[in-house]
A and B are shown apart, each in its own frame.
Chain A
Amino acid sequence: MLRLQNVNTLYGEIHVLKNISLHIREGEIVSLIGANGAGKTTLLNTISGVVTPKSGTILYCEQNIARKNPDAVVKMGISQVPEGRQLFGPLSVLDNLKLGAYTRYSSAGKRGVHQDLDVMFELFPRLKERQKQYAGTLSGGEQQMLAMARALMCRPRLLLLDEPSMGLAPLIVSEIFRTMSQLREMQQTTIFLVEQNARMSLKYSDRGYVMETGKIMLEGTSRDLLDNREVQRAYLGKQKKPIWE
């Protein structure tokens, strides 16, 4: 479904992405793990068109989207949940969701968007309870759910998730990841997940890539990556039982 070949992205003089090649098949959950500053978010921004790569191809459903603008990329069915949620704090939950459907009104009309809203409320019952509340007053976990729901309102075929676990308590993180799996089952959404929480993201994904200083160092099934000692040492740490269990 998505196929990157030799993508290079520069910020001025700084070479951030070095010859990145990767692929995501339809219906897969693929995670990209790596340390701070490895270039993970840049990679997502490059796919979604926020950043333009210097060279390389990004094939999405056999079309090269490497030079497309973000709005065109969204219309083609790729939607990104940005790092740190980036919600519209002073707007209500409902308005945030409606804004997510911005590109859908012309094709689906109001009724279509309302149907989508119902689906989102089914997937995230919490948001239904709080639809009138300002987004800025939600808890961290609820904000993450809202960010995901907002991205889903434009009915993407490929969802790019950037650090959904950031700043959340472990129990909430599990809930977010479970919702993500549900999402694939209910809507057949393909998911590309960027995470620092390597253990959790590999647990919920099919395959993974390990990124280090702008380069892909390892590709494999999540099982293989979890078994890889280097990955364990660098990204998984010791497996500690949470104290409240």
Chain B
Amino acid sequence: MAVWDETIECSPREELEQLQLERLQSSLNRAYKNVSFYRSIFDSKGVVPEDVSTLADFAHLPFTTKKDLQSNYPYGLFAVPLREVVRIHTTTDTVDTPTVVGYTHNDLKNWSSLVARFLFAGGVTRDDVIQISFLYGLFTGAFGLHHGAEKVGASVIPASSGNTEKQIRIMQDYRTTVLVSTPSYALILAERLENMGIDPKTLLLKKGLFGGEIWSEKVRKDIQDRLFIDALDNYGVSELMGPGIAGECGARNGLHVFEDHFLPEIINPDSGETLPPGETGELVLTTLSREAFPLIRYRTGDITALDHGACECGRTLVRMKRIAARADDIIIIKGVNVIPDQIEHILAEVEGCEPRYRVIAKRENKRDVLEVRVEVSENIFFDEMKHQESFLIRVTNALSHGLGIRVEVKLLERKTLEEELKASAKVLDTREL
């Protein structure tokens, strides 16, 4: 099987761990020296970077959270002067304070090599025509994949997102062989192809590399069956770098974490304790090579487990399970795990556009109730009560059916969601457990 960087990806564990230790120590030294935020929290805990002598020695260092990133908005955590930063990306969340990531020249070089690793592992070569249907903008996805694909030598079409019919036309005319998008967009494409009466088999598409959201094996099967392609997963975190933190190989048995640049840990999301190998918990990542924006023990909020067993592809890099949930958003109600992403997908299907909503779990008369508040968009007519009611019923049925529990839906007037979200979280659990 093809490996992009064999000396690292297949290196003996011992050598890899030596490199990790060296890079960890030098990263800590740099962060301590150049980022006042880290210096002050290290000092307040009475820790110096030299206290870290092993990779396991790490548990007494404090976590970095999304809140820390936001309270140091915009450039507070940069470890180099702004003039050395050659690229800036941010998260595109409209409600929260965005998190800002800076890249030096070397950071960009590393980023594209890491993306090249998982593209190559997924079978993308210089003979491919790769269509990137992520939004080009502040979001890290499009540019990350773009430069990685160029590094592999594939022909890159920066199609950006939206305008599905045009995307299909590009696919036909330019003979796209690889699609890069969110998994949900792949399904939208499949649907549009069916509506337009185009047989997906007449396209030259053979692979899809999907990321940017949580997706299940069921969605994977759906995409593969409807588009007749191989669908592969990759993992990134916008606050750390973007795509290129882990990627699936041909064995499809988890995603190889690029451990020479990111040190993974699994913790108990409630207590913050490090969990023994193999157990499921929240993924915590430390950057090992970042120059502009080092992060120490960043809590990703993603729930996964690490598998240290050998992989048939020959890579020695640890594998993480595909992400199934987010630590902060998951709600367990009536024994059912409800992930807001599921709700989002269902709403998107019913509404036909990006949904704006919030989820509240509450207890009424000793009964647990899941309430979904949906803000109406322009697509929904409100002038006619009849339409509104039928829409409400459709949404309620779709959600109840899709989640497997009864859901109460409330419609919100336009622009009221933003006000509510200022006051409380998007996913709220008011039950006293």
Binding site for B on A (CB under 8 A): 3, 5-6, 18-19, 21-23, 209, 212, 215-220, 224, 227-230
Q: Is the CB of A230 within 8 A of B80?
A: yes
Q: Is the CB of B29 within 8 A of A217?
A: yes
Q: Is the CB of A217 within 8 A of B18?
A: no
Main secondary structure of the interface of A (DSSP, over half): strand
Chain B, residue nearest A8 (CB)? B50
The listed residue (A19, A224, A229) touching B80 by CB distance below 8 A is A229
Q: Is the CB of A21 within 8 A of B33?
A: no
Contact A5:B21 (CB < 8 A) given known A18-B50, A228-B291, A229-B84: yes
- CB of B23 within 8 Å of the partner chain: yes
Complex interface: stretch among B87-95, B101-109, B408-416: B101-109
Q: Is the CB of B15 within 8 A of A218?
A: no
Q: Is the CB of B25 within 8 A of A216?
A: yes
Q: Provide the bound-state CA to CA distance between A32 and B113, in Å.
A: 25
Contacts of B53 in A (CB 8 A): 5-6, 19
Binding site for A on B (CB under 8 A): 15, 18-19, 21-23, 25-26, 29-30, 33, 49-50, 52-53, 80, 84, 104-106, 109, 289, 291
Contact A21:B80 (CB < 8 A) given known A5-B18, A215-B50, A220-B106: no
Contacts of A219 in B (CB 8 A): 19, 22-23, 26
Q: Is the CB of A224 within 8 A of B109?
A: yes
Q: Provide the bound-state CA to CA distance between A239 and B49, in Å.
A: 34
Contacts of A224 in B (CB 8 A): 106, 109
Q: Report how many A-B pairs have Cβ atoms within 8 Å.
A: 59
Contacts of A5 in B (CB 8 A): 18, 21, 53
A170 to chain B, nearest CB (A): 27
A121 to chain B, nearest CB (A): 37
Q: Provide the bound-state CA to CA distance between A209 and B29, in Å.
A: 13
A105 to chain B, nearest CB (A): 37
Q: Provide the bound-state CA to CA distance between A215 and B25, in Å.
A: 9
The listed residue (B21, B84, B104, B291) touching A21 by CB distance below 8 A is B21
B16 to chain A, nearest CB (A): 11
Chain A, residue nearest B14 (CB)? A3
Q: Provide the bound-state CA to CA distance between A132 and B425, in Å.
A: 85
